[in-house]
Amino acid sequence: FFFNLDGQEQETIKKMEAGDKNNEVVQDGDDDDDNSRGERSTSSKTANWTDEEFEIFLRDELARDPLSVEYPDLFAVAPKLICKWRRRYDGNPRLWKRLFQKERVAKEFLEAVPIISSVQRMVMGSELDDGEKFTIIDLACGRGYLSMLLSELLPPEKVQKIVLVDRQWPMHNMAPEPHHISWTHIYGSSKSVEDQSIPAYYETWPIRLNTSKVNLKKSKEIKSLERRSIEGAN
């Protein structure tokens, strides 16, 4: 589907983009060696916390941002959603450490807040025919934090699936290589090419997440994505 941001949300994104030019956060890769010393310290500090303690920590950290005044409901629920991720990856500390780096997760959430607000408003305000559901396509998704939040937030009775589109995903029948974005946090052992000793995460998402390797600069690949999306929705 396509949706429009209202004037306030467009202005919010412009301010955030301007701020990013002066306050860039390094987007590190999947290797633990790329983590900053501060992020490793945060990960270690929170490792033994209860979910309640972790949720309070996230709430306090996010509340420092001025956007919390504009989107109080999303800022209130976000720590609970991220806490669900923590429970999902319990038993796989290396994967959780790679995913949860406070500065990265906070930055991804803050950038996504206006989009999440618009998507939530449209989905919740739409009248659908019996059996009809939305398919959401997340373009240039990176690791998929936006889609992960939407899967936990939106009602499954209104959304069939979310497609995570990025050219850095592996092909579906190939194991991720170092230059790929790892999809382990999306699928787990649901993928036969993945480590079968870890859980099958795919089935745990309230709204199913599906990755799609697409180069958005190539028109043929975009048309193929459009066909697959339309066929999958019918």
Q: What is the pLDDT of residues 31-75, one digit of tens each?
A: 444 444 444 556 567 778 899 999 999 999 999 999 999 999 999
User: Is the predicted pLDDT of residue 3 greater than 60, yes or no?
Assistant: no
Higher pLDDT, 112 or 42: 112
Q: Residue 25 carries which DSSP code? A: -
Q: For residue 222, count other CB atoms closer than 10 A to its CB.
A: 15
Q: Residue 178 carries which DSSP code? A: T
| The pair of three-digit structure tokens given for residue 146, joined into one six-digit string | 């936006």
157-215, pLDDT tens digit by residue? 999 999 999 999 998 878 888 899 999 999 999 988 888 888 999 999 999 999 999 99
Higher pLDDT, 222 or 12: 222
Least confident of 4-8, 69-73, 139-143: 4-8
Q: What is the mean pLDDT of residues 104-132?
A: 93
Binned at pLDDT 50, 70 and 90, residue 14 comes out as low
User: Is the predicted pLDDT of residue 13 greater than 70, yes or no?
Assistant: no
Output phi, psi for 160, to 5 deg.
-75, -45
* Confidence (pLDDT) at 11: 56
User: Is the predicted pLDDT of residue 149 greater than 60, yes or no?
Assistant: yes
Q: For residue 16, give the nearest of 109, 105, 92 by alpha carbon.
A: 109
